[in-house]
Amino acid sequence: MSPLVSVYIPTYNRSSLVKRAVESVKNQTYKNIEVIVVDDGSTDDTEAVVKSLVGGDTAVRFYKNENTKGACGCRNTAINYAQGEYITGLDDDDEFTPDRVDTFVTFFEKNRYPYISSGIVFRGDKGDFIEFDKAGVITLDDLCQSNVIGNQVFTTTENMREIGGFDNASPAWQDYDTWLRLAARFGDGYRIGGATYIQYLDHGFNRITKSKKLKKGYEFFINKHAALLNEKAIKTLYFQYKLAAEEKLSFAELLTLKDTRVFLGATKYYLKGLLQK
């Protein structure tokens, strides 16, 4: 029999979006899947919407937190309840392409990397663009320089439990922190070519990367992983924080990046900031 795959979906007050997410999992070509939706105490009709999707479908389970736990807490609740051999996640405002889980299971069963990922289709008002779609090995060094995975991985439930799931104390970059710990514990992973995850932009709900928590998240990440990060990695991550926060680089900050792999991109970003004055 095909192995069971658990898909966790944390949600909060997004009833208008979570239905699409759940249905994208139910419509997978791979059928041996359980969907675990964890509601972080929504005050809208999220519970009614999800339960209407459940019906008599025992493959969809719904849990609602009595006290708010945050996205990481919701994911950890799902990881705790998961019955699948494998596990992956989906944000409530995104969706899977129909072949995503089948692609992951087929590759994982044949290659047995400890974790795998694939590309992301970013979909917004100006159309689609794709990132993280180049196939190849993901090393610890790669992850120390940048989140080359994105916001989801496919791994075993045992692996996720062994690293303790997601860190509730992290203000931001929670996904990145988790992937780095996976790599530090289990070694190289692999990115499959192509894009099987659709991330929606400009839907009217704020994402964590645009919030005031980003700076605290960056500082928390650097301090937590200080033993893994060399000077170049820290400089590279600083630029990525500035980029995500949409903060301008000073010329002095740009010069500190001259010996890193992001110098060209940082130079373009610096010049763009000058033109916007």
Q: What percent of the chain has pLDDT over 70?
A: 87
Q: What is the predicted pLDDT for the residue at 209? A: 47
Q: How confident is the model at residue 270 (pLDDT cuts 50, 70, 90)?
A: low
Q: What is the predicted pLDDT for the residue at 258? A: 67
The helix/strand/coil state of 13 is coil
Please check the confidence at residue 70 and state whether its pLDDT lies above 60.
Answer: yes
Higher pLDDT, 108 or 202: 108
pLDDT digits (tens, 9 = 90+) for 117-157: 999 999 998 889 999 889 999 999 999 999 999 999 999 99
pLDDT digits (tens, 9 = 90+) for 9-53: 999 999 989 999 999 999 999 999 999 999 999 999 999 999 888
Amino acid 24 reads S
Q: What is the predicted pLDDT for the residue at 244? A: 79
- Three-state SS letters, 45-86: CHHHHHHHHHCCCCCEEEEECCCCCHHHHHHHHHHHHCCCCE
Q: How confident is the model at residue 264 (pLDDT cuts 50, 70, 90)?
A: low
Pairing of strands 136-138, 95-96: unpaired
Q: What is the predicted pLDDT for the residue at 255? A: 72
Q: What is the predicted pLDDT for the residue at 207? A: 47
| Ranges in the chain annotated CATH 3.90.550.10 | 5-208
Residues 6+ apart with CB under 8 A from 254: 266, 267, 270
CB 182 within 8 A of CB 113: no
pLDDT digits (tens, 9 = 90+) for 217-260: 999 999 999 999 999 899 888 888 887 777 777 777 767 766 66
**CA distance linking residue 146 with residue 224, whole number of Å:** 15
Q: How confident is the model at residue 203 (pLDDT cuts 50, 70, 90)?
A: low
pTM: 0.90
Higher pLDDT, 112 or 102: 102
Please check the confidence at residue 204 and state whether its pLDDT lies above 60.
Answer: no
> Looking at domain 5-208, which CATH architecture does it have?
Alpha-Beta Complex (3.90)
Q: What is the mean pLDDT of residues 69-81?
A: 96
**CA distance linking residue 175 with residue 173, whole number of Å:** 6
Judging by beta carbons within 10 Å of its beta carbon (0-12, 13-18, 19+), is residue 126 exposed, middle or buried? exposed
Q: How confident is the model at residue 268 (pLDDT cuts 50, 70, 90)?
A: low
Token representation of residue 7: 């898909």
**CA distance linking residue 264 with residue 193, whole number of Å:** 25
Q: How far is residue 180 from each of residues 49, 56, 186, 255, measured CA to CA in Å?
A: 35, 38, 10, 27
Token representation of residue 157: 């439930």
Q: What is the mean pLDDT of residues 48-74?
A: 88
**CA distance linking residue 100 with residue 30, whole number of Å:** 8
